[in-house]
Amino acid sequence: MKIVVIGGTGLIGSKTVERLRKRGHEVIAASPNSGVNTITGEGLAEALSGAEVVLDLANSPSFEDKAVLEFFETSGHNLLAAEKLAGVKHHIALSVVGTERLQESGYFRGKLAQEKLIKASGIPYTIVHSTQFMEFLAGIVQSGTVGQTVRLSPAYIQPIVSDDVADVMADVALASPANATIEISGPERARLSELVARYLKAMKDPRSVEADAEAIYFGARLNDQSLVSDNDPRLGSITFEQWFAKSAQPK
């Protein structure tokens, strides 16, 4: 069948496209660079013509509160309207575990707005809530760095590797719509500050980590339930050590 992957050239999108093509499906990797723009609407009708399934894996280019909300609202509205006209039978979106719990954050307010549009659209859907990506650890480090110290919450985190996320997204694309939210998570739970300290040590990075329960995580304060799933998630198989050994060696 024909499947359109919005954000099909990104970290998760490119891996999902590869998996679906290997299973014999016609897959369009849609992005502004390929002439498909969910903000302006350019190329949407053509890309979606004849498509049965759409995966929305695009992310906002800006994390600024107003910009991220506008991105997810505008993109979601344009994409869902075009899907209705094209007769798409299954809309799938990748979102974040804890979105509804982290509404202090402009980014998570944007994601929640996106999810509400999907649920109200009338199109059969599946929303996949994922824990943070292992590949995002470097960004988390930068977000908490002041000088040579990285100030981070000691709240629990259970990060998942992008390969495991892509496996799930491909499986969901070929399954019936759940008309619900499902959750995926990494195989190991650790405290954010401790995991980042392990990451920095492995990277031979001289920065030190300071655990601070009041540290802000992309606009929100965390507790031990914020970033983890207790909702019987599907677990990835790749551990931090396995991921690091394969993908994140120091330069």
How far from the centroid of its chain's Cα atoms is residue 66's Cα? 19
The DSSP 8-state label assigned to residue 219 in this structure reads: T
Mean pLDDT in consecutive groups of 10 residues from the start of the chain, 251 residues? 96 97 98 95 97 97 92 97 98 96 94 98 98 95 96 97 98 98 97 97 96 94 94 94 84 58
For residue 159, which of 210, 90, 229, 91 has the smallest C-alpha distance? 229
User: What is residue 251's predicted lDDT score, i.e. its pLDDT?
Assistant: 58
Q: How far is CA 211 from CA 98, 133, 144, 149, 179, in A?
A: 21, 21, 11, 10, 39
pLDDT on residue 247 = 83
This prediction's pTM:
0.94
Question: For residue 95, which phi and psi values (nearest 5 degrees)?
Answer: -130, -160
φ and ψ of 125, to 5 deg: -145, 165
